Structure 1
Amino acid sequence: MNGQTKKLMWGLGISDEDANVIQHAAGGRFALSCFPIGVTPTVDQLETDEPCLLWISKQGWDTLKTLPSSDTAHIDVTSRILIMGGDYDLAELESLLECGFTEIIKPPITKERARDVLLSAVETQNLYQDIMHMTREICLEREMLERKNDMLSFIVSFLEKVTQHLDPAEILRAAQTELKTLLPVSAINAICWSPQVSENVHATIYVAGSEKNDVARAWTEMLKTHAQRLLGDGVVSIDMNYMGTVKTEILPSSDTLLAIDLEHGGANFGVVLVQCHEHPQLGKDQIQILRSAISHLTLGLNNAMLYTAAQHNADIDGLTRLYNRRHFDARIVEENTRHRRYGHSLCLMIADIDNFKNINDTYGHLAGDDVLKDLSRILESSLRTSDYIARFGGEEFAVLLPCTSASHATMLAERIRIQIEEHSFVTDKGILNVTASIGVACIDHTHEESPVEIIRRADAALYQAKDSGKNQMSILYPDKSLLVAGGYAT
């Protein structure tokens, strides 16, 4: 104890004679330090000496009782022996026993009696220390169990939240909410693609904000950089998804940014960027929880991206890689509803390759396939990212032009018709010249019209272009007036 080889005892108000007997009985293993009546050892002295036993005379005890409890409370933590001198009755003895004395002895103290009391007190103290040690171990084990229970509860909750959705945006929203209980998370942004694709990747960026602005652009560029690190130049197109999970603008900061590469089955399929508003201080347990959470997040996003890819493939034409008729039928309903709600202009364009049967019959279906793929690329390069293209059926292509007036739609259709006419279509049978006829229908927001009627009107305009000699552009207005323009098929 504090470098001492002997255990220290205190004597409070005991006589010199009693002190000598106690010291002699204790032998060389103990030392006795005495205080006169009226002098109370301080808390600092208690912490410095760490006495194993306190011998108190009855007179010394009577003096202690007159002092404020705040001055004597620290003495109660030490085992105490009361030397009961003078006269006393049974009631007083019972009262003293309730004060927490280990033993009460009556003088004169003999060496044998002092040794017995000392050994009993030491044994009691050792037992007390053993109990305290066991109590601390139990408390530590309980704390560990509570911590493990908290870890398990977090992981169960996190797993439930990130696996109950098949929408990557919903999974990322849930992950941001759950991780806030572990990290000072301010935003989660991500870029993901199909785990089954490693080249010609069509990726989706998930931005925590709700609109396209400088902050969103900063996150987009950072996510593109991470995707390039994993794929090189493999990303050919990117869709944007604004999740709206944060209301304030949070720019990426490398000091408090956690980048997580998404990998499953040896294949990378994205990166998640976790932005914190302060540098996270993680203990060993928290790091273990975070690793488990990342594992569950990766699994949830992997399943979601596989599902998204399956949905996408179901909506994509296998030859041209444009949307198919099934997807178009759902999209035109959405666009028509949006057009009605906000009063935006909306036009539909249907393009049909002229004499396509003759191409198949003369040059073969593989050459026809080459023409279809080449024409789809012409449409993609000629339209805005907000425009929508689908393979309508066979050699027909449908294009939805939101926020486009009739005059602009006709100019665009005519420009595309000319591009097709002037383009050299490369096939396995050589270079072919191809023309197309285009029908256009624009929606009048003052006149309610179903998607079926819109398609019927664009189709009627297309057939009018065909009947007028092919290689034509024709628009049929809501009032049934018709405009036909263009060249003539050869």
Structure 2
Amino acid sequence: MRQKDTIFWVLDFPEHIIHEMEQSLPRGCRLKKADTVSDINLNESGILNTCVMFLTLGTFKSLKPGEREILQQHHDLQKVFVLDSDEGIQGLDFDQLGSFLDMVRMPLTRDSLAGIKAKADEIQELYTDLHLMAREISLERELLARKNVQLEFLNRILTRSSASLKVVEILKVVREEFAGLVEAKGLAAVFWKKTDVRGVVTAEVYLPKMEPAGLIKSKWIKSLLDMPGRFADVRVRDYQEVVLNCPANRIEDEPVPTRQVVVPLQAGSIFIGAVVIVAEKTLRLGRDQLQIISSASNHLALALRNALKYRNIKNEADFDGLTSVYNRQQFDKRIRIELKRHQRHANPLSLIMLDLDHFKGLNDTYGHIAGDMVLKKIGNLLVETVRESDFPARYGGEEFVALLPETTEDQAWLLAERIRKKISRTVFSYDNNKFNVTASMGVACLTPGPLTPGETLVKQADKALYLAKNSGRNMVCTSADLCLGEAISS
């Protein structure tokens, strides 16, 4: 390390005095000459060196206000006033002189200069120590501030993620909170589980809305489906895609590892999924950031596991276990709600009741496993065909229903006919056997009044279904057909 020097600046000194000072300089001192205040350049002196300015009282008094201000701004420059041998200090305005290191009389000897050097070095070391202490305090404050921000982040994400039992809502919280931590622009996620005793693994992939058949989307799905193998050493057999609609959640580029934070979700000893935070640019995370992400991941895993369990339990309560459409209990609840709503607004409410033809014979011929396969397919076909506002459900056995809000009987008949044709054209395959099935359907519609019984719509649709069964099957009958038949028979 280079030895520190003490730099003596002299301002407007005669040449012979400068020469005398050069002859008397103590070891470790250098002399620099300045004709005006603006000539003083402390950067040339070096930041490690002690700087002292020698000037006479006469020179100081002759300085203009602006020059004195410049001199005062040089905080690292210690002033020494040089007095003539017979010059007195009575009547001096010390407030006007400002802070200074010392006053010395001519001539400037080696001993007097050495004393000034020692005093200046001591004060400089004190300044340096104070500066270092201030810097350390500043760094400590900065570190504490960062820790405080990170703890606030952790507290927010723990509190907000615990407040919901909906997977999508928790992922929205993660997206919002991580946006400030790593400047995230997007979020994706994958969850996996074993679905049966054979160990078949299925997954759910959460992505923002993207081009359906785009290459970028395909690469993201592949990247996410690789994670079960990476973390849990399992291979996904099938997956379901879920659109994650979060405000400002966007993924526009293919996966780039250096722009991602992959947060594995481990509940106990079991990995249940992973969340991927996508940043705008290459990430360089500090150790404290990695620690806070690790801490957050532990709680997020528990929150998301609870949300997934709650959803599964709710699905078991709300949906039919075989066909994955709503069950009879949920249908009974929904029809009561829709009847009350349609009573208020006096709008038509329609119901389609569907029964598979000769289903017992199908079970007897191909077996109950084939029958279950047919029921699953019919459930999927029903969900795919009805509108998003409609309510498809399994009514019992081989019977299905679809509740159609604000739909006339003619409109309901058209939808039922479309469903019937789809079913009759579908080729089912089981154990190297191919076969078709047909369905009979009953359609009913009413505009409920204040006193309309809740079971009226179901009874009318059931009667229309009975008519379709007795009229040759594989057809759609409506309550209007039923009324027409009753009128003819009477």
Normalized against structure 1, the TM-score is what? 0.72
CA distance in 2 between partners of 1:117 and 1:319 (Å): 96
Deviation at 1:268, TM superposition (A): 5.1
Identity %: 22
Deviation at 1:129, TM superposition (A): 1.4
Name stretches of at least 5 consecutive residues in structure 2 with no aligned partner: 229-234
Deviation at 1:339, TM superposition (A): 9.0
Q: Does 1:117 find its partner at 2:116?
A: yes
Cα deviations across residues 156-211 of structure 1 (Å, max 9, x unaligned)?
A: 2233233322212212222222222234433334444558776363636453x5xx
Cα deviations across residues 84-114 of structure 1 (Å, max 9, x unaligned)?
A: 3354454415335x51101223445555444
Q: Does 1:149 find its partner at 2:148?
A: yes
User: Residue 52 of structure 2 corresponds to which residue in structure 1?
Assistant: 53
User: Equivalences for 1:295-444 in 2 at 5 Å?
Assistant: 296-318=299-321, 322-332=325-335, 346-351=350-355, 370=369, 373-380=372-379, 382-383=381-382, 385-387=384-386, 390-394=393-397, 396-400=399-403, 405-410=412-417, 412-413=419-420, 416=423, 438-443=440-445
Contact 1:260 1:271 in 2 (8 A): yes
User: Equivalences for 1:448-463 in 2 at 5 Å?
Assistant: 452-463=455-466
CA distance in 2 between partners of 1:336 and 1:270 (Å): 41
Contact 2:416 2:476 in 1 (8 A): no
Name stretches of at least 5 consecutive residues in structure 1 with no aligned partner: 485-490
User: Residue 229 of structure 1 corresponds to which residue in structure 2?
Assistant: 226
Normalized against structure 2, the TM-score is what? 0.72
Deviation at 1:393, TM superposition (A): 3.2
Contact 1:194 1:306 in 2 (8 A): no
Deviation at 1:406, TM superposition (A): 0.5
Structure 1 pair 94–242 and aligned structure 2 pair: CA distance change class (3 A): closer
Structure 1 pair 50–339 and aligned structure 2 pair: CA distance change class (3 A): farther
Of 131-140 and 254-263, more deviation after overlay is shown by 254-263
Cα deviations across residues 226-271 of structure 1 (Å, max 9, x unaligned)?
A: 45435655225x3644625249x86344458637364324655445
CA distance in 2 between partners of 1:282 and 1:120 (Å): 47
Query: Number of matched residues?
Result: 461
CA distance in 1 between partners of 2:82 and 2:138 (Å): 37
Structure 1 pair 24–331 and aligned structure 2 pair: CA distance change class (3 A): farther
Deviation at 1:375, TM superposition (A): 3.9
CA distance in 2 between partners of 1:244 and 1:37 (Å): 66
1:92 aligned partner, one-letter code: L
User: Equivalences for 1:16-27 in 2 at 5 Å?
Assistant: 27=26
1:461 aligned partner, one-letter code: A
Structure 1 pair 204–131 and aligned structure 2 pair: CA distance change class (3 A): closer
Contact 2:37 2:70 in 1 (8 A): no
1:84 aligned partner, one-letter code: L
Q: Name the SS of the counterpart of 2:53 in structure 1.
A: strand
Contact 1:83 1:104 in 2 (8 A): yes
Q: Name the SS of the counterpart of 1:117 in structure 2.
A: helix
User: Residue 475 of structure 1 corresponds to which residue in structure 2?
Assistant: 477
Contact 1:316 1:322 in 2 (8 A): yes
User: Residue 487 of structure 1 corresponds to which residue in structure 2?
Assistant: none
Deviation at 1:349, TM superposition (A): 1.8
Contact 2:195 2:202 in 1 (8 A): no
Contact 1:43 1:74 in 2 (8 A): no
User: Equivalences for 1:68-87 in 2 at 5 Å?
Assistant: 68-69=67-68, 71-73=70-72, 75-85=74-84, 87=87
CA RMSD of aligned residues (A): 4.8
Structure 1 pair 174–115 and aligned structure 2 pair: CA distance change class (3 A): same
CA distance in 2 between partners of 1:37 and 1:221 (Å): 73
Q: Name the SS of the counterpart of 1:251 in structure 2.
A: coil
Deviation at 1:39, TM superposition (A): 8.0
Q: Does 1:201 find its partner at 2:202?
A: yes
User: Residue 92 of structure 1 corresponds to which residue in structure 2?
Assistant: 92
CA distance in 1 between partners of 2:341 and 2:271 (Å): 37
Of 406-415 and 132-141, more deviation after overlay is shown by 406-415
CA distance in 2 between partners of 1:324 and 1:393 (Å): 8
CA distance in 1 between partners of 2:370 and 2:77 (Å): 98
